């Protein structure tokens, strides 16, 4: 086999010399200076150690989010395509198919700040200033109804925000409590199972290998899906008919409408954007704004006689896609009934 070795190796072998496995030092570079390490050491701990010095609110964060994040995560943090949703999912962690978002799942706000600062936006990681980081995180929190839009998030106010799933994790103590049971003594090699077979298929067909001769595979999937997804009762938000215009409620609605203004405009100079202008929308016939190209879903609703009274608007604003199948509106919906009532009252102040 020596004839296959390179000449210098061959010569060394013949000479009886030994090769060092690895040189002790390569003689390249130098030890990094503390300030150089600090420039890249962005670790943020749950106790706040390492938090960047800065501040920002959701009002500024909305514009930043639209510019730097919305192409993947949607204008309202509702997610786009296969990109993750950042808002919603409250009280779903015990469901068969939980929605894990910043609001429903992440236990520590410091982790969100660390991740956004270190890894976002996609393709330009590390390009956000500290103030921009706080503003964007504030908008994500606002989209989850965890803060008001004017709340100033900073390294000093981080712990004023209560994350819903803060107590949803436990310390992994398996190294102390269980590893010894697995590693002590000889492994049991008797009474082993003779063969391993797939006895249940996953709800998502394409993640379980196909088996031959399984004629009832599709039936199994259907049965599992039916058991795992019990029908839920329709949730209908009822809004009491307004007896008089409430200016205080409308004032609160003006704040809520900030979630809508990236697509809709109101007022004297309002124009159609990705969504129609909303002047005179309360009490108007569906699909009635001139010059706006409505979806076929809205056109069908108009033909069926849909009128945007307060009850219909409330149901639509709560769960748009559930209320009107095929709607182009990407907004996931208002989670709080008081916000729904407030934004409708605000819209009532704008005549056609």
CATH 1.10.760.10 fits 247-347, yes or no: yes
**Residue 210's pLDDT is what?**
55
Q: Long-range contacts of range 38-47, CB-CB < 8 Å, 24 or more positions apart?
A: 42/114, 42/117, 42/118, 43/114, 44/110, 44/111, 44/113, 44/114, 44/117, 45/110, 46/108, 46/110, 46/111, 47/110
Cβ neighbours, 10 Å, residue 25: 5
Cα–Cα distance for residue pair 322/330, rounded to 1 Å = 12
**Residue 113's pLDDT is what?**
97
The pair of three-digit structure tokens given for residue 74, joined into one six-digit string:
């949607």
SS3 assignment, position 304: coil
| Cα dihedral across residues 225, 228, 233, 237: positive or negative | negative
Cα–Cα distance for residue pair 8/15, rounded to 1 Å = 10
- Name the residue among 258, 61, 260, 257 with its Cα closest to residue 151: 61
Residues of the chain with CATH 1.10.760.10: 55-160, 247-347
Residue whose structure tokens are 């070795």: 5
The pair of three-digit structure tokens given for residue 154, joined into one six-digit string:
């900073």
Cβ neighbours, 10 Å, residue 24: 6
**Residue 71's pLDDT is what?**
86
Q: What are phi and psi of 202, to 5 degrees?
A: -70, 155
153 burial via Cβ count (<10 Å: 0-12, 13-18, 19+): buried
| CATH class held by domain 55-160 | mainly alpha
The 10s digit of each residue's pLDDT in 187-218 is 777 888 888 887 776 655 455 555 554 444 44
**Residue 91's pLDDT is what?**
86
pLDDT in single tens digits along all 352 residues of the chain: 434 334 433 344 344 444 455 556 788 889 999 999 888 888 899 899 999 999 999 999 999 999 999 989 988 898 888 889 999 898 899 998 899 999 999 999 999 999 999 999 998 998 999 999 999 999 999 999 899 888 999 999 999 999 999 999 988 999 898 888 777 777 777 888 888 887 776 655 455 555 554 444 444 444 434 444 444 444 444 444 445 789 999 999 898 888 787 678 899 888 887 789 999 999 999 999 998 888 888 999 999 999 999 999 999 998 888 898 888 776 778 888 999 999 999 999 998 8
Region label for 241, one of left (φ > 0), alpha (ψ between -120 and 50) or beta (otherwise): beta
The 10s digit of each residue's pLDDT in 80-133 is 888 899 998 988 999 988 999 999 999 999 999 999 999 999 989 989 999 999
Contacts of 124 (CB under 8 A, 6+ apart): 68
The pair of three-digit structure tokens given for residue 317, joined into one six-digit string:
């604003």
């Amino acid at each position: 086999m020596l004839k296959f070795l390179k000449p210098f190796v061959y010569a060394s072998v013949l000479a009886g010399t030994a090769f060092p496995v690895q040189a002790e030092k390569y003689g390249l570079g130098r030890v990094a200076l503390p300030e150089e390490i600090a420039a890249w050491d962005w670790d943020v701990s749950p106790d706040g150690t390492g938090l960047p010095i800065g501040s920002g609110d959701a009002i500024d964060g909305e514009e930043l989010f639209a510019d730097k994040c919305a192409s993947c995560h949607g204008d309202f943090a509702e997610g786009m395509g296969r990109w993750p949703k950042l808002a919603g999912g409250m009280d779903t962690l015990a469901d068969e198919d939980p929605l894990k978002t910043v609001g429903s799942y992440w236990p520590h706000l410091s982790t969100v700040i660390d991740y956004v600062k270190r890894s976002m936006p996609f393709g330009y990681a590390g390009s956000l200033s500290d103030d921009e980081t706080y503003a964007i995180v504030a908008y994500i929190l606002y989209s989850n109804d965890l803060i008001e839009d004017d709340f100033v998030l900073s390294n000093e106010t981080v712990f004023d925000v209560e994350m819903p799933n803060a107590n949803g994790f436990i310390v992994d103590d398996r190294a102390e409590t269980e590893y010894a049971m697995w590693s002590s003594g000889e492994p049991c090699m008797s009474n082993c199972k003779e063969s391993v077979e797939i006895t249940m298929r996953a709800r998502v067909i394409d993640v379980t290998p196909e088996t031959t001769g399984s004629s009832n595979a599709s039936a199994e999937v259907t049965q599992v899906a039916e058991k795992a997804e019990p029908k839920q009762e329709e949730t209908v938000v009822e809004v009491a008919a307004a007896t008089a215009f409430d200016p205080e409620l409308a004032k609160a609605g003006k704040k809520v409408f900030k979630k809508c203004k990236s697509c809709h405009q109101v007022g004297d100079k309002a124009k159609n954007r990705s969504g129609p202008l909303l002047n005179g929308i309360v009490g108007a016939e569906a699909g009635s704004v001139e010059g706006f190209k409505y979806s076929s879903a809205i056109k069908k609703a108009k033909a069926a006689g849909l009128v945007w009274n307060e009850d219909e608007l409330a149901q639509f604003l709560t769960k748009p896609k559930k209320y009107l199948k095929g709607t182009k509106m990407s907004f996931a919906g208002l989670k709080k009934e008081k916000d729904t009532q407030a934004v409708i009252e605000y819209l009532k102040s704008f005549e056609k």
